[in-house]
Chain A
């Protein structure tokens, strides 16, 4: 029986193949640009749209090692069937794709392009915040979780479920869906920590802090979370290609001791003479990295003078204490630019960060690109294949250190989209691909939200928006003690 089915399939495939009248001497223009990208073996179907003014019908011939499929399209959208795509991925290696386009009743063949299936899996979920890339106002926003192996997106929390307040800075401990936090602003304001079934809301209005807790990063043990506290302001550019300038007038780094409800800092993490921000723990939990810039006054006049270096101090998780020596890994004064969002690969080998001309808020800087330091050799390199002419800013690593997701404004200069790139053992990034969608052109054209803070997550978050909203409405602030260590 199987043999007959196989023969019938062969006949159907043969019948599908169009009679080719000629070639088009170029690769097709497709959206998203998936030409020659490296993709994980567990990614959702990489549907794409052929952009052509002249064609009236299209056919994609996708060939893996021992599998060839044909997809016919009347509108340029090339959608892969679920089973079909799974087979192509499991065949592995190179997916060679040739697009045929029907023009004036004749089929013409574009040059082939490829997708390279890599055996390294990407984490199954991606969490992000959907938010309008606005100025100072906000309306609707939500934290979502996308299944990367399909097109399913689940809303974890929408501010319409609460009081319309701002929800931000979602963060996971080592990509663990059971250990996460985020902040709510305005009503029910506070930092909400969900940890292995437990929930708490922090009272972070401690007098000793210059602001509520801001940019978080979990210690891999789950016992600590490093935060920055920032007194932030913003101005609107009149003609500069960068729309907004967001800057800090003061900022410090603190560590929250989750078990003992203490906020701990040290003089060299909270100096008035410097702006310290974007803390990150190393995967072994023994180092705390952060960005630091010499404080500049007055602001915003001096905004272009603020350049953040990348620093590191020892961290002792046994008593939440800091080393006295501050190492500078990237010296902005010498090497130029300004560092933000340091993130270390889980294997501890590479430290990726965003480098822009100046300042702290690289998400609005068109020159922002992602760079990488090899922590073994100390070598610095630009992750060139990952970068574009527009903004590349927030990024995070997959659990196996082989994939990186980065927020990029390359598509239209305003709405950030998540691009995923393969990073090899040497720290070299490969051409990234845009998060797949069922009908990507339609989806991204009509999407009026930015994908903010994309974070890989190992599993499904077992929390609903209703549970979060109910908790926020009832939660009492957990008192927090402030401790300064020298």
Chain B
């Protein structure tokens, strides 16, 4: 078999393996990513993003992630990106070694990228920034003329800082390593790259273009909230480390068998599996899985996949699913009920917790509380473009008589690919008071007649007020009974 065909076969196999792995382990994470970003089809918005540090990475990430709401698309895009990244790493390593094992070991950075996804505060922008850096490194390696290559390297560092952000550090360090390993002492000239990158970082910090040193020197930039960032850091570090390893391989093993890439890939996948099991949070993943299923109205699937041993708090997607099926009161005791003193699963992620609240409160017709939760959930979403929460904000503001602010959110959604139809319908409801979509009518009917404050008399008091306003509210009626049952449980 020709080398080219072997390569195609190898990467196709890797893509399939990665795709299957990603689908099995991350299927529901894609919806969550898509729920946190909107790609706004507006030139001013696009240009504005491009002027920000890491703007190209942000823009590309939000463009790609808008498609994550479609089934399997996230898996396809991500596995494609990972294979592309591994191919780029291999091509970079090819400049140092011809050892075929490196083709498989080139998947090591991908393993760490994959594990980054376990942290919900990590932004997909970090992946794209890393890809851009690898692409720049590959392009750099293709320049054969020394002077041109050095000049290009000096230009690439600040440019990459602007386009991709702090991952430009990876370029600076890796390009330096690449030069030293290829050219020995002569390669020390490439120390200029880390120096330029530090200088660029210094300028970004001093001019307040980025908030601080951590943002320009580490992957911290790719998190929307302070968080540990070991895995992206490992992905970064793995590029120069692999170069060094490749250099040693050249000396040790000049040529391995043709199965070596597969062995390397298998090693990378084993590492991924091991680390995934160590860091994966089942309960949190379960929450985002339910979040997607609830958004899609897949109540049966939520109920069927529920784990009876998991603590079930009053405000949960499971209870919402049971209420939709008219089974909440009957089956409450079956699913490990928790006392009402704590109404919700203590999620470590504020955004996901607030999204749960807004979804449940909206189903109750608890309009002002749903608006508050949606506002806060949207606020803690980077860029404040969380489509699900923006939709709740539109509905609740319209129901509560604030059409002007609802229009602001409608205008945002109208500039997206997947939400513009919904926005058009709401625009019609804004323009023609006689037109009232069903979901809006239901909310308006649920507005309580009395009750000055939300939660002043406690959640139970508010539930009672809403039920008095709309006794046909079956969802809330079940939750209200469930609340009373849980109260009894607490008293015991």
Tell me the bound Cα distance from A464 to B203 in angstroms. 13
Q: Is the interface of A mostly helix, strand, loop or mixed?
A: loop
Report if A445 contacts B (CB, 8 A). yes
Leading 7 A-B pairs by shortest Cβ distance: A412-B404, A160-B211, A161-B211, A236-B454, A235-B453, A414-B405, A448-B384
Tell me the nearest residue of chain B to A444, going by C-beta.
B408
> With A411-B404, A412-B405, A464-B208 in contact, do A238 and B451 touch (Cβ < 8 Å)?
yes
Q: B348 at interface (Cβ–Cβ under 8 A)?
A: no
In angstroms, Cα B456 to Cα A245, docked, is: 12
Chain B residues at the A interface, C-beta cutoff of 8 Å: 40, 42, 44-45, 205-208, 211-212, 225-226, 350, 367-369, 371-372, 375-376, 379-380, 384, 400-402, 404-405, 407-408, 411-412, 447-448, 451-456, 462, 465
Q: A413-B402, A414-B405 are in contact. Are A466 and B208 (CB under 8 A)?
A: yes
- Judge whether B412 and A239 touch: CB under 8 Å: no
Q: Contacts A164-B226, A413-B404, A466-B212; is A235 near B379 (CB within 8 Å)? A: no
Chain B residues, CB < 8 A from A464: 206-208
User: Which residues of the other chain, A, contact B211 by a CB distance below 8 angstroms?
Assistant: 158, 160-161, 465, 469
* Residues of the A chain whose Cβ atoms lie less than 8 Å from the Cβ of B45: 446
8 Å CB contact of A238 from B379, B384, B407, B462: B462
Q: List 21 A-B contacts (CB under 8 A).
A: A132-B379, A134-B375, A134-B379, A135-B375, A137-B380, A138-B379, A158-B211, A160-B211, A160-B212, A161-B211, A163-B226, A236-B454, A236-B455, A237-B454, A238-B462, A300-B453, A412-B408, A413-B405, A446-B412, A466-B212, A469-B211
Summed over the interface, the residue pairs from A and B with CB atoms below 8 Å come to a total of 102
Chain B residues lying within 8 Å of A442, measured Cβ to Cβ, are 42, 44
Q: Which of B42, B208, B368, B375 contacts A237 (CB under 8 A)? A: B368
Contact A238 B380 (CB under 8 A): no
A positions within 8 Å CB-CB of B: 132, 134-135, 137-139, 155, 158, 160-161, 163-164, 235-241, 243, 245, 300, 411-415, 439, 442, 445-446, 448, 464-466, 469
What's the Cα separation between A241 and B375 when bound, in Å?
16
Q: Are B212 and A240 in contact (CB under 8 A)?
A: no
Contacting pair A239 B448 (CB below 8 A): yes
A198 CB to nearest chain B CB (Å) = 22
Q: Which residues of B contact A445 (CB under 8 A)?
A: 408, 411-412
Chain B residues whose C-beta falls within 8 Å of the C-beta of A415 in the assembled complex: 405, 408
* Chain B residues whose C-beta falls within 8 Å of the C-beta of A412 in the assembled complex: 402, 404-405, 407-408
Alpha-carbon distance between A135 and B211 when the two chains are bound, in angstroms? 25
User: From residue A74, how far is it (CB to closest CB) to chain B in Å?
Assistant: 13
Q: How far is the CA of A310 from the CA of B240 in the complex (A)?
A: 68
Contact between B44 and A439 (Cβ–Cβ < 8 Å)? yes
Q: Are B454 and A238 in contact (CB under 8 A)?
A: yes
CA distance A413 to B457 in the complex (A): 27
Query: Which B residues touch A466, using CB under 8 A?
Result: 205-206, 208, 212
In whole angstroms, how far apart are the Cα atoms of A300 and B369 in the complex? 18
Cβ contacts under 8 Å, B44 to chain A: 439, 442
Question: Closest CB of chain B to A321's CB: distance in Å?
Answer: 42
Our pick among B208, B225, B372, B379 for the contact of A236 (Cβ within 8 Å) is: B372
- Cα A300 to Cα B455 in complex, Å, equals 13
Complex contacts, A137 vs chain B, CB 8 Å: 350, 376, 379-380
Q: How far is the CA of A464 from the CA of B367 in the complex (A)?
A: 42
Q: Is A135 a contact partner of B376 (Cβ separation < 8 A)?
A: yes
Q: Which residues of B contact A239 (CB under 8 A)?
A: 367-368, 400, 447-448, 451
Min distance, Cβ A440 to any Cβ of chain B, angstroms: 12
Tell me the nearest residue of chain A to B366, going by C-beta.
A238
Q: Across the interface, which residues of A come within 8 angstroms of B40, CB to CB?
A: 446
**Chain A contacts for B405, CB-based, 8 A:** 412-415
Give which listed residue, A236, A413, A439, contacts B368 with CB less than 8 A: A236
Q: Which residue of A lies closest to B447 (CB)?
A: A239
Most buried by B among A137, A139, A241, A466: A139
Cβ B448 vs Cβ A238 within 8 A: yes
Contact residues in B for A163 (Cβ distance below 8 Å): 226
B452 touches A237 (CB 8 A): yes
A161-B208, A241-B400 known, 15 other contacts, Cβ within 8 Å: A132-B379, A134-B375, A138-B379, A160-B211, A236-B372, A236-B454, A237-B368, A239-B447, A412-B404, A412-B408, A414-B405, A442-B42, A448-B384, A464-B208, A466-B208
Residues of the A chain whose Cβ atoms lie less than 8 Å from the Cβ of B455: 235-236
Q: Nearest B residue to A449 by beta-carbon distance?
A: B384
Chain B nearest CB from A165 CB (Å) reads 12
Report the minimum CB–CB distance from B301 to chain A (whole Å). 31
* Cβ contacts under 8 Å, A135 to chain B: 372, 375-376
Closest-by-CB residue of A relative to B369 is A236
Decide: B401 and A241 in contact? CB cutoff 8 A.
yes
The answer to whether A237 and B212 have CB atoms under 8 Å apart is no
Per the bound structure, the CA–CA distance linking A312 and B42 in Å amounts to: 53
- A160-B211, A238-B451, A411-B404 are contacts. A300–B456 as well, Cβ < 8 Å? yes
Nearest CB of chain A from residue B2's CB, rounded to whole Å? 53
Residues of A within 8 A of B208 (CB): 155, 158, 161, 464-466
Say whether A414 contacts B206, CB under 8 Å. Answer: no
* Chain B positions within 8 Å of A446 at CB level: 40, 45, 412
Expressed in whole angstroms, the Cα–Cα distance for A238 and B375 within the complex equals: 15
Q: Interface centre among B225, B379, B411, by most A CB within 10 Å? A: B379
In whole Å, how far is A436's beta carbon from the nearest beta carbon of chain B?
A: 16
What distance in Å separates the Cβ of B447 from its nearest Cβ neighbour in chain A?
Answer: 5
Q: How far is the CA of A411 from the CA of B411 in the complex (A)?
A: 14
Residues in B with CB closer than 8 Å to A134 are: 375-376, 379
Of B369, B400, B407, B455, which is in contact with the most chain A CB atoms at under 10 Å from its CB? B400
Give A155 to B208 CA distance when docked, in angstroms.
8
Pairwise interchain contact A238-B402, C-beta atoms closer than 8 A: no
CA distance A238 to B212 in the complex (A): 41
Report A129 CB to chain B, min CB distance, Å: 15
In the complex, A142 Cα to B456 Cα: how many Å?
Answer: 32
